[in-house]
Structures are given as structure tokens and as C-alpha cells.
Structure 1
Amino acid sequence: MEIRRLSYFVRIAEDGSLTRAAGMVRVAQSALSRQMRLLEEELGVPLFERTARGMRLTSDGERLHASVAAPLRELELAIQGLRSGPSRGAAHLALGLPPSIADLMGRSLALQLRSAFPDICFRLVEGPTGGLVDWLGRGMIDFAVLEEVSRNDLLIEQKLLSLPFMLVGPPDIEAPSGASVGIEEALALPLIVPSHHLGIRAAINDAAQRSGLSLDIQMEADSTRLIKELVQSGIGYALLPERYVFEAVAAGQLRGWLLNGAAPVLDILFSSRKASQNAGRQFVSVVEFITRGIEGALAMTDSSKSSHERITSGDELK
């Protein structure tokens, strides 16, 4: 069985479109379709259902993809690690980001990566922590920023930092009074929370369980940008990492309160497959560059710290 044919299969499976895959691998659509027919004949099972909306994997196709995607990706990385420069072809690496971090720093990170590694073609993939862990395990992406420990033995994780939460509400709200509130008081408020029970939602659920409280959920939204907009509209409050909302609070778009007591924190981790660590020095350089960039972007700047001190001293941000 040809490795190239399997790589075409993975490309079509992940794109869901023969036309789009043909453009990505620079092969005529008719030739790519023929390769898939030959692969199906060789295996003796149908791998795709051809629909008006594109190519959808059959159950046999799903099993094949789960089995070959990661090994093919590791082979590709190993080959890329032997390349010494752009004259031998550009390397391709995929980085997964949660929507919250993509909103906060995705654009600046992309520009920095392009400047620092001009011979690498980066693909930035946005998805929830659970999806990113799954894609990492299946070899669909090379590394990812996670908002929770993956608990996946195939992955290596490096904790970058822990982000404390704060409570945010509409800018014109009168209560709670003061610059900070207790975690129990915050958890009892009508809240807008993510629906995925990982990352931010998991930290909120754990805090509620410790306090013996049931959450008053007004709405669920899986985008921190949308959560902030809904809070600003007066639908409810939100508990989010302080770094995710600080600029909006400082600009007066939201009102913020620091949390007292056993307040939740969100662990930010950088993860990659174990086998990818042997992919070459360039891969390691990219990992080091990204982790430094994320740590710097998510850490509070000096100007932010001075504003942070004004909140804690009682000078509230209106």
C-alpha cells in the first residue's frame, strides 16, 4: 500500500471535500478520486460516502483515519526535521488554540511566527480543549495550547502559568458593592458560562461544588468574546480569567471585581505528541518560541499591574 495514497486519504478525510483536498495537495481532482477508488478496492471496503456537501467518512473510513493519521504525521515531521532550509521545501506545522486565546493573541502570534520562521507554513486551528486534545492524539495538529490537563498518555504537557478568575458584569451595574467579592457571592449570581465542561467551565463547576452551590445559569456560550458581549448587554455576570477580560474592564466596557476566598484559576498548558519531540531542532525551536510568546502575552504587563492595584485598593474601574 502506498504511503502517498494514505496521505491523500487523510487529507480528504480532514478537509471533507475532494476539491479542497486536491487544491491542498496540488493533484488533479480526477486523479485524487481515482487514488481513493484504488485504495477502497485494495482494502475491500468503502471509505467515503459521496454526498452533495462533500466527502463523509464511513465507519470503516473512521477506523482507518484513526489508525493512520498520527503515524503519517510523525513520518512527515521526521522528514521535515531532515530538511536544512527552504530550498528543500517549506515545512508545515499546525498549532491549535482555544477560542479565548485565539481572540486574545492569535493574530499577533501568527505574525511573530511568520517573521521568526519564514521557511515554515503554519496552520492555526481554533477549537475547544477537548477537540484540541483529540486532534493532537490523532495527529491532525502538531501542538496546542490547552486550558486543562489532557490526561492523554500520548501527549507531553508543559504548564505555562495559572490565570486567576475575576467576576465581570455590565458597566452600569450597581451591585455587588466594593472592589472585590467572595467566591460564594459571585457563584450565586446569574451567570453566563461556557457549555463545554472543560477548561473555564470545569474550574467554575469545581468552585461551585466546593462551595456546595448550584449555578444560576442564564445562558451558555463557548466564545469568551461572545460571553463578554452578552454580559455587556446585561443578560448576566461571568466568571472568566482576569487576563481575558482585563482590557474590557480597564476600558469601561465591563465592570470587574476581584475574587476573595478559594477563587478558581485556569491552568494554561502547552502540549504536543511525545513522538513529535524527536522531529528535529527546528520543531523544538518553534515550541520554545511559542511557549515564550504565550507566557509573555498572558502575563500581566506593568501597566496592567498598576491598574490591578487600583482595583484592589478600592478605586473601582467604572
Structure 2
Amino acid sequence: MDLRELKYFLATAESGQVSRAANALAISQSSVTAAVRRLEDELGAPLFQRTASGMELTDAGRELRASAQDILDRLERARHITHRQSAVTGTISIAASYTVMGYFLPYHLDRLHQLFPGLEIRPSEQPRESIEEGLLSNRFDMAVMLTSNTANPDLETETLFRSRRRLWVPNNHRFHQAGRVSFADIASEDYIMLTVDEAAQTAMKYWSVLGMQPRVKLRTSSTEAVRSMVANGQGITILSDMVYRPWSLEGKRIGTVQTEREVPTMDVGLAWRKGMEISGPLAVFHDYFRHAFLSPQSPAVVGRG
């Protein structure tokens, strides 16, 4: 296993296709394919499920993705240790929604502190409505939020990445080895509905398009409660890869399954007041995320929960 293989693996995981990864890395498709196969041989497990639409991460692939990204991030920090941007100083106020604060932002706040020790970031967790009001009233300089949840015409948004939603099931569930599951089959099972960050409203939108409803057994704002209920066989749910973990707090395994019909992604990105000039310390914050997620040479980094 070498760093190049990990980089090629991450590029494939982010793009979902070998051809896109190869284009982003400016190498041949055969080089990407060979690197992924070497990793799979060394680990003794398939990292991707090859489908007609592209490359889908397996459970083993999702676990390696977090570890591989951590390795490359630590290397990047080591390379920058003598080039810390100590000249950058100032204070900015950043708002974040619950899911972003819990599963994404803390990791990046730590990286920003390491890179720019003179930059003071004051984070605040808020619901979407408060974030939008705070941006428009200049209470917040910028927000890191679910851009898929906002359509405020007075705000500019920039999506950093899109997290696919999948069906979560206990590891021994009959759906786990099915490959893809229909919504009709999902509707026949007890369903655990997450309500935080408008998750329930989002879910009901795509269910209503199909003319169906899930058989909701529990509504909860706790992602960990959903995880435990699913792992214990008390129901199933559809949630994003960003909040997925393969184990519950009780140590029981959770698997994921693709749905036959596409589910809208959960999009994470930046938001700010329309027409606002992004300069000074705020530009440093903005450029950090653009470099980490939108540069083709830098596979996106999803924060750890």
C-alpha cells in the first residue's frame, strides 16, 4: 500500500467513476483501476461495487475512505508545518446547522487552526431559519450548512459536496444482500424517521413523489437513536453517507443498500449574503474549503463525527 494508491482510491470514491478520477488526476484509467485492485488484494475485501452507473463504495470501502483521508491529511499538515500562515489574523463569525456541526465542521476547524493560528473562528450552531436571518442581518459572516435545504434568493450558496442517501438496515436484514431495494418493499417495514435539520420534510418530499408513505415507528431528532434502533432490528431508515457509521453505540453492525429509485443527495456547502465582498480573514476561510473540495487535484475531505 502506498500513498499514490490511496490518492487514486479517494479520487474514485469522490467522483464515482474511474474515468472521472483519471481525468482529475491527469493519469490513465488503467492506472486508477490497477491501484484500486492492488488495494483490494492487499485488504482482502472489495472496496467498490461495480455498477452500470459507476463505482459504489462497499462498507469496507467507506471505512478505508475515512482512514485514507486521515493519512493524506496528516501528510499535508506535515508538509505545511514550516509554512504556517501566521500572517493571517482576524476574527470571523460562522454559523452551522446541527448535522454540519456534528459530522463535518469540527475536523475542518481544527485544520484551519493548524494552518492559520492567527485566525479566530467563532462558530455558532443554529437551525436553517436562524442561519439565513443571521447572514442577512450581518450577525454571521458566512455559514456552513445544508445547501440542499435553502433556496433563499437573498443568499449566495456554493455546494462543496453531495452526500448520497442510502437505506440503512441491520447487518442480518433480508435487504442487506439484495443489491437494490424498491420503495414498495421499504414501505412494508417499520421506519425510523430522523427529524433534525428538516430531514423528515426532505424524506416526505421524495416519498410523496412516489405516492407512498413510510410506516413510521419513531420520529426522533437523535441520529444516534436512529442508529441504535436500526442496528437492533427495530426499523430501517434512509440517511446520508455523511452521517453513516457501520456500528451502533451497542457495537451492532449496520449495513447500507441502494434504493432502486434515486434519492436526492444531502448537499453541504457555504452560504453568505448576496453581494457581500469576500475578503480578508473571510476569504481565507472561503478559499480553504474551495481548495479542499473543489480543486480537481485535491479529493474532498468529509469531516469525521
If the length of structure 1 is used for normalisation, what is the TM-score? Answer: 0.57
1:141 is aligned to 140
**What is the identity, as a one-letter code, of the residue corresponding to 1:191?**
Y
CA separation of 1:126 and 1:225: change in aligned 2, threshold 3 A: farther
Q: How does 1:1-318 map to 2 (within 5 A)?
A: 91-147=90-146, 148-175=148-175, 178-196=178-196, 198=198, 200-245=199-244, 247-248=246-247, 253-276=253-276, 278-293=277-292, 296-298=300-302
- CA–CA separation in structure 2 for the residues paired with 1:92 and 1:111: 15
Q: Tell me if structure 2 keeps the 8 A contact 1:97–1:144.
A: yes
Provide the secondary structure at the position in 2 that maps to 1:214.
Answer: coil
- CA–CA separation in structure 2 for the residues paired with 1:162 and 1:188: 28
Q: Tell me if structure 2 keeps the 8 A contact 1:100–1:224.
A: no
- CA–CA separation in structure 1 for the residues paired with 2:125 and 2:202: 21
TM-fit CA distance, 1:99: 2.7
Q: Tell me if structure 1 keeps the 8 A contact 2:103–2:243.
A: yes
User: Which structure: greater helix fraction?
Assistant: 1
CA separation of 1:273 and 1:166: change in aligned 2, threshold 3 A: same
Q: Tell me if structure 2 keeps the 8 A contact 1:99–1:223.
A: no
Count of paired positions? 210
Instruction: From the CA coordinates, give the structure whose radius of gyration is larger.
Output: 1
CA separation of 1:228 and 1:130: change in aligned 2, threshold 3 A: farther
**What is the identity, as a one-letter code, of the residue corresponding to 1:110?**
L
Provide the secondary structure at the position in 2 that maps to 1:297.
Answer: coil
- CA–CA separation in structure 2 for the residues paired with 1:192 and 1:212: 19
- CA–CA separation in structure 2 for the residues paired with 1:247 and 1:176: 13
Identity %: 14
TM-fit CA distance, 1:281: 3.7
Flag structure 2 segments of 5+ consecutive residues without an equivalent: 1-85, 295-299
TM-fit CA distance, 1:244: 2.4
- CA–CA separation in structure 1 for the residues paired with 2:242 and 2:197: 20
TM-fit CA distance, 1:213: 0.7
**What root-mean-square deviation, in Å, do the aligned CA atoms of Structure 1 and Structure 2 show?**
3.0
CA separation of 1:85 and 1:223: change in aligned 2, threshold 3 A: same
Q: Deviations over 1:53-108 (max 9, x none)?
A: xxxxxxxxxxxxxxxxxxxxxxxxxxxxxxx957xxx5221222333233323332
**What is the identity, as a one-letter code, of the residue corresponding to 1:209?**
S
CA separation of 1:297 and 1:279: change in aligned 2, threshold 3 A: closer
Q: Tell me if structure 2 keeps the 8 A contact 1:189–1:237.
A: yes
TM-fit CA distance, 1:165: 1.0
Provide the secondary structure at the position in 1 that maps to 2:104.
Answer: helix
- CA–CA separation in structure 2 for the residues paired with 1:298 and 1:282: 23
- CA–CA separation in structure 1 for the residues paired with 2:87 and 2:97: 31
TM-fit CA distance, 1:135: 2.9
- CA–CA separation in structure 2 for the residues paired with 1:239 and 1:94: 33
Q: Deviations over 1:181-214 (max 9, x none)?
A: 123422443222232573x333311211111012
Q: Tell me if structure 2 keeps the 8 A contact 1:241–1:266.
A: yes
CA separation of 1:234 and 1:133: change in aligned 2, threshold 3 A: farther
- CA–CA separation in structure 1 for the residues paired with 2:140 and 2:246: 30
Q: Tell me if structure 2 keeps the 8 A contact 1:93–1:121.
A: yes
